[in-house]
Structure 1
Amino acid sequence: MNVQLFVPCFVDQLYPETPFNMIKVLEKAGCKITYNPNQTCCGQPAFNAGFWDESREVCTKFLKDFNPDQYIVAPSASCVGFVRNYYSKLFQDSSLHHEVAALSKNIFEFTDFMVNILKVTDVGASLNGKATYHDSCAALRECKIKNEPRQLLANVKGLELTEMNDVETCCGFGGTFAVKFEPISIAMGEQKVENALATEAQYLISTDLSCLMHLGGYIKGKNYSIKPLHIADVLANGW
């Protein structure tokens, strides 16, 4: 199966090892990966800040960088959720309407693609220790992903998964929310981390590095030992 790789801009700059691990897992599952080095951003930051015209320019480039009729997979439910749910608003009644409709149908978050398209829930990964999982708002509410990451993690040899309290509550990142409402954002991050620590987990796992970046900053500031991990990094471990 041919799969186009979409690497969100902040992932490319800050967490480049995660896309490589995602490629490793997808290739093991039988996928042939293609990557267009001209790709940049999905346009979400400008859109969320209210700059819809500027966002539309970035989104138009995104449409040119990918083949809308082939699968596109990304290690970020946030970016995938934006493309799926908001490109149609930006390009409503435009000449790109059909491309947008096709793209929205074929872009997937990594775990969603693994479980629902490839029908794979066990990749032979192993990681010894106790973990808890954080549902990102984008994964849960925009991509309707809940069980898929848990199905994959349940098959990681040596990993014990324990649910934290208020698991579906926002971590406080929210993109520009963390900048505009910093004290509230930090308090929400604190609550999420404290709930994770209460499970005695060694690892805090999610589909979204944006959440993990936010939570990781709080964890580092407090010198806590719990380690944030993207699920692709977990699934690529041990083989």
Structure 2
Amino acid sequence: MTFSVSRMGRRRIAWAAVAVSAVGTAVFSGANYLTGDASASRIPLNPVVAAHYLTIVVHALPACLLLLVGPFQFATRLQARRPRLHRTLGYVYMTSVVVAAIAALLATTFSVDGISVQAGFYLLSAAWLYTLFQGFRAIRQGQIQLHRLWLIRNYALSFAAVALRAFLGLGVALQGPFPSLAFDDIYTTSVWASILVSAGVAEYFIIHRTVAPLLRRRTGKPMRSANPTDMVVASRDTHNGRQS
């Protein structure tokens, strides 16, 4: 017996998987940092910077909040039926990203994990703020679809926190058959892998699941290849002038 799942069904399954993993990570991590116990920190603390743990907490708590809020911002039914709630949660999400990203920049500066990890987190924080700014500017200009594309990128960067834990778990599991693997190498690799994979998945989704259908409706022809600039222009033209 074979079972087929519709495209809509696959999207719902993917959304549920993202939501469940994000909520699980947010609850598990947030509970740890709500205690205020520096000795329970899973991140090595800089012994000469007393404020290091505080910057981690100020980063972690709003980051957990935005992980919880994010999946529901992509729920089309919520957007259509409760636009005010969608807008309110959007401001909560935006504020959480700004606070979490700025705190992450400080925490990264104090980090003792090495320059490779610091470079990864600096890049992630900068991209986090940039994609949020672009998404906010798009919605202020009434470009709803462009706003959605930038927020897909932004939440993918937020979801790197979930991916990081998954890669770390995989790396630690590989230490059994490969005892020569050092944890520091696993951690550095996991940081970069979580960023690159999350960003790559977002771009794949944007091109093949969001922009391509818009172009097909616009041209009436299947999309073989397209210049990214043309895709953004098509997205802007299709939704220009609409208000949230």
Q: Flag whether TM exceeds 0.5 (same fold).
A: no
Decide which structure has greater strand share: 1
Which has the larger share of helix?
2
- TM-score (ref. length: structure 1): 0.33
Structure with more contact order per residue of length (Cα contacts < 8 Å, sep ≥ 6): 1
Q: TM-score, normalised by structure 2?
A: 0.32
Larger Rg: 2
